[in-house]
Structure 1
């Protein structure tokens, strides 16, 4: 029995795509980070002075997002720093997913905090210096809109090209969450001032927390799937195995398909084959069945005394 292994070097061909395409995204996230940090400080100071728990909560909420943006910047920097580090067997592509996963957890924590704080305010309404709070909330909304515009182009290009950068996606979701909470806060403050609906601030906070929790759930699912090496979305290993065995007369002993970076998948395949089988043909068929393959390892065991490829 012989062993033939065919490998495509992920490092030589595709390993640096994430790093090479991320420089402009990192600059966008950095700009949003500073905008968010400055606005956070202003909201916390004014929120404390005016007695607006809603504004104060939004300030700390933005602080959580600033921390998430800092994590995103670190992720890009780390991937760039280790782009030529051979100790990463399949490159640093999964650092992007790890950053997105951590940001999703931060989003979930923000949603929980908002829900608890809103319920507390619903039970125990508090007086607010509405004019100051509304003014700063409007400023915060303007900053959020600018941040959305900064990140929107990169997020849309990422979506259309199917190079799903979950680190950028997480940052984009954080900005949308900030914009949403700013809009809801302004609405609630206006309702409280002019209609005396003190309860509106709490209700809006609960609604916002549910929406943010939903975003966190989706992002956790998208990133966790890759971090846990689940099968590539849209690829059915059972069907791949059936087609390989049907079209090539093989017996598939083992098959693993997983994602190693954005738009890059890998496969390890072990088959038993007859003398007439061709490793090149098997490799070609695998590429036709599994999209975006950047790394292929094929192990072929001969089913007959004649060794595959020998004369």
Structure 2
């Protein structure tokens, strides 16, 4: 059986893998960056003047947030670039790298805060509660505003989610700073300042771990949770008549919410191969949200296959 014909003709099939990056996402990230970066300076000055580690820790969070938001904005800008001969999927994966870096920086910030808190316990210093409270309340309001901006619309995007987690950490840090300022003002007990700094920082470790795992899973081209190879094979055999065997299944994510798959499908002898391929494609798109399945047909038990995805099938190959 000759297979010299053009087996990769995907007639009517869209091969544009360039990510859809909305201008709405870009605008809200840029606006959030401006707000966070501006208040980072304010909070740093307030922390130095008041002697508050809680404020300085929160300023450290906000500085990392500003960097994360700037990186997220660059990721979206790169994501708008079209695919080329060297990067056939465009720059979509850059967004996942940004999310991965965001997660790593969260761990680094927590380590820095714990170290500074230990230094404060060893050598306590005076804290001016009134200016600390004023700056902390202002920081809380800024973080609430930025978090609200980021969680409007596409909040599950890995890049947006990474930035939002940073801001959530800041928001918790501001709450801790407000609480510490109130306690110091009422009781004069300054150890509450480094204690709450550490407690608030530890609260974000769980979210950072989840973000790290998700972004690393995508970078390693892992299968989506709801579209594992075993689940796809089982469902396709149940739902598509004429499927004799499915093999060489590879499913992976390019970025958050963008999944692709390749596989070999061997139809039973009495069915039309084109019909089976189209049915499997529909199943992958509708039930597993795989936007670009590429299916190779195994024409016989020796697994000689060529790509057939919405391409005409000649009578001799049915």
- TM-score tier, shorter chain, comes to 0.7 to 0.9
Provide closer, same or farther for how the CA distance between residues 52 and 236 of structure 1 changes in structure 2, counting only shifts above 3 A. Answer: closer
Distance in structure 1 (CA, Å) of the matches to 2:90 and 2:276: 27
Distance (Å, rounded) in 1 between the aligned partners of 2:2 and 2:254: 29
Q: Which residue of 2 aligns with 1:132?
A: 131
Cα distance in 2 for partners of 1:132, 1:245 equals 67
Alpha-carbon distance in structure 2 between the residues aligned to 1:248 and 1:263:
30
Q: Residues 146 and 238 from structure 1, CA distance in 2 versus in 1: closer, same or farther, beyond 3 angstroms?
A: closer
Cα 1:6/1:102, change in 2 over 3 Å: farther
Deviations 1:155-174 (Å, cap 9, x if unpaired)?
A: xx325xxxx31111111111
Of residues 148, 154, 162, the one that matches 1:158 is: 154
Q: Distance in 1 between matches of 2:99 and 2:67?
A: 13
Matching residue of 2:42: 42
Task: Name the stretch that deviates more: 63-72 or 53-62.
Answer: 53-62
**Could you tell me which residue of structure 1 aligns to residue 206 of structure 2?**
214
CA gap of 1:297–1:6, structure 2 versus 1, over 3 A, is farther
Q: 1:133: Cα distance to partner? A: 1.9
Determine which structure has greater relative contact order: mean sequence separation of CA pairs < 8 Å that are 6+ residues apart, divided by chain length. 1
Q: Structure 2 CA distance, aligned partners of 1:53 and 1:245?
A: 60
How many angstroms apart in 2 are the aligned matches of 1:38 and 1:200? 27
The 1:291/1:242 distance shift into structure 2, 3 A limit, reads closer
Aligned mate of 2:227, from 235, 244, 261: 235
RMSD (Å), alpha carbons: 2.6
Which structure dedicates a bigger proportion of its chain to helix? 1
d(CA) in 2 for partners of 1:119, 1:2 = 74
Q: Is the 8 A contact 2:57 2:197 kept in 1?
A: no
Distance in 1, Cα, partners of 2:9 & 2:194: 61
| Paired residues of 1:2 and 1:300 also in contact (CA < 8 A) | no
| 8 Å CA contact 1:6, 1:298 repeated in 2 | no
Distance in 2, matches of 1:2 and 1:297, equals 21
Number of aligned residue pairs: 298
Structure 2 unaligned spans of 5+: 306-312
1:248 & 1:231 partners in 2: Cα distance?
A: 26
Deviations 1:276-309 (A, max 9, x none): 4413422322431452222222222321799984
Provide the C-alpha distance between the structure 2 equivalents of 1:132 and 1:285, rounded to a whole number of angstroms: 65
Change (3 A) 1:197 1:236: same
Query: Which secondary structure does the structure 2 equivalent of 1:68 belong to?
Result: helix
Task: Trace 1:49-68 onto structure 2 (pairs within 5 A).
Answer: 49-68=49-68
> 1:293 aligns to what?
290
Aligned equivalents of 2:33 and 2:264: distance in 1?
47
Q: Which residue of 1 aligns with 2:309?
A: none
Structure 1 residue 257: deviation in Å?
0.9
**Which segment is superposed worse, 57-66 or 24-33?**
57-66
Secondary structure at 2:227 match in 1:
coil
The change in CA–CA distance for 1:113 and 1:287 in structure 2 (over 3 A counts) is farther
Give the alignment's TM-score, normalised by structure 1.
0.85
Aligned residue number for residue 284 of structure 1: 279
Contact 1:229 1:258 survives alignment (8 Å): yes
Q: 1:19-98 to 2 correspondence within 5 Å?
A: 19=21, 21=22, 23-80=23-80, 82-98=81-97
- Distance in 1, matches of 2:260 and 2:39, equals 43
**CA drift at 1:211:** 1.2
Distance 1:240 1:118, change over 3 A: same
Residues in 2 aligned to 1:182 and 1:304: alpha-carbon distance in whole angstroms: 65
Q: Contact 1:274 / 1:302 at 8 angstroms: preserved in 2?
A: no
Gaps in structure 1 of 5+ consecutive residues: none
What is the match of residue 308 of structure 2? none
